[in-house]
Amino acid sequence: MIRTVSKTLLKFLAASTLIILMAATLNYVVDPLQLFRPARLFPAMYSADTRMQDAGLIRSQPFDTVLMGTSLAIHFRQRDIDRILGGRSLKLSMTGSSSREQGFVLEAAMARHPKRVIWQIDDWIFHDAPEPDSDIYLPSGLYRRSVAGLAGYLFSGQMARESLWILARSLPPLQPAVARLTSDLVFKFPIADVDDINSLPQDYDVAANYNAKKALAAFRHITDPVRSRYLADGYDYDAMVRAFERDAIGLIAGHPDVTFDLYFPPYSILQFVAMRDASPSTLKTVYDFAAYALPRLLRYPNVRLYDFRAVEDVTHHLDNYGDVIHHSPVIDLKLLAWLAERKYAVDRSAPMASLDRLKAQVEAYRLEP
């Protein structure tokens, strides 16, 4: 009886080991993230989970320009960046990302020696955030290519399922049916073109999703006394300066051969008016941080700094917004054109000028009933 149980257990362990090794082999050969090599044997597929996908993009894509940012820089198309600014770009923007995450991912990208970084920054990203190795949402081991990180990738059952699906999609008889069944609700890698990662479809109804009605509704929501205290979340001046020095200044100073085009995005005027009316101490922190960061950044010759927060033709036209900060894809193209023209660049001899214009606009702005 004992021998029978032992034999059964050994068979079970052997079968389990074989299945695990087969999964690891499948993941290595198909390599859904393209961590080991660019896709050649099988068609490349991509995930909208940028914190994971960026690790593979850095390893597999050719680029000399990197775009980094939050959800305000997530909808850019790489072909638009290339067309307007030149070069070969790679979008690494991550929704809701902190400067800690962004700096970590950018440092990984530096191993590929880009010539230029286009970095959408704002005061909010410089809040306290966990270290990359403690961040449950950021697979730091994939970026570090640590033994634990790569083992977790290769021996992942979920990745094996993705690999099988990509393999099935590569077989001509199955390709049409598998492509129709591929859904981001079921699979992690549903995107066939790298340019489509978190990009809005061509037929996207911009007017229905970005308009004054939505912007004003968001303004009323965040200034409601029940919720207005959340306007101050993450706005601790000392913590912001520490994060800024570590993540932004540390990266810029450490890579003097890379050109950094940093820009403050064109939040709608309502974002600052909400702070003015419902959380004035937060607005003061925003102003104080900008007064520190603007001249500090301009000390570095490899920095070109742009401040779009006071571009009244955009920020006061609420039809450009889906809420109080997120601008439409039409403005994305404007931003690229401004960067190409070096428009709204912060003058090294007058670093406070754009901030002074913003202050004046916020003080003067009045919402009509």
The pLDDT of residue 185 is above 60:
no
Q: Which of the two residues, 1 and 154, has the higher pLDDT score?
A: 154
Q: Label residue 5 by pLDDT band (50, 70, 90).
A: low
**Neighbour-count burial of 364, counting CB atoms closer than 10 A to its CB (0-12 exposed, 13-18 middle, 19+ buried):** exposed
pLDDT at position 169 over 70? yes
> What pLDDT, on a 0 to 100 scale, did the predictor assign at position 166?
87
Rounded distance between C-alpha atoms, residue 175 and residue 119, angstroms: 38
Least confident of 26-30, 91-95, 115-119, 357-361: 26-30
State mean pLDDT over 256-281: 97
The whole-number pLDDT of residue 43 equals 87
State the Cα–Cα distance between residues 194 and 318, nearest whole angstrom.
31
3-state secondary structure of 327: strand
User: Please, what is the average pLDDT of the chain?
Assistant: 92
The strand pairing partners of 66, in sequence order, are 90, 117
Nearest to 297 by CA among 344, 259, 325, 336: 259
Averaged pLDDT for residues 164-174: 76
The C-alpha angle with vertex 322 and arms to 318 and 323, in degrees rounded to 5, equals: 80
Query: Cβ(165)–Cβ(187) under 8 Å?
Result: yes
Instruction: Tell how far CA 216 is from the center of its chain.
Output: 26
Per the listing, tokens 């990266």 go with 251
Report the pLDDT averaged over residues 155-161: 92
d(CA 222, CA 17) in angstroms, rounded, equals 54
Give the tens place of pLDDT for each residue, 202-232: 899 999 999 999 999 999 999 998 888 888 8
Angle at Cα 86 formed by Cα 37 and Cα 115, nearest 5°? 60
Cβ(362)–Cβ(276) under 8 Å? yes
Locate the domains of the chain by residue range: 207-369
Q: What pTM does this model have?
A: 0.92
Instruction: Kindly list the distances between the CA atom of residue 321 and the CA atoms of 32, 176, 224, in Å, as whole numbers in the listed order.
Output: 35, 38, 20
Chain segment 300-333, per-residue pLDDT in tens = 999 999 999 999 999 999 999 999 999 999 999 9
Give me the percent of the chain exceeding a pLDDT of 70.
Answer: 92
pLDDT at res. 9: 67
| Residue tagged 């021996």 (tokens) | 155
pLDDT at 125 over 90: yes
pLDDT tens digits, 27-83: 999 999 999 999 988 889 999 999 999 999 999 999 999 999 999 999 999 999 999
Which residue bears the tokens 């307007």? 84
SS3 209: helix
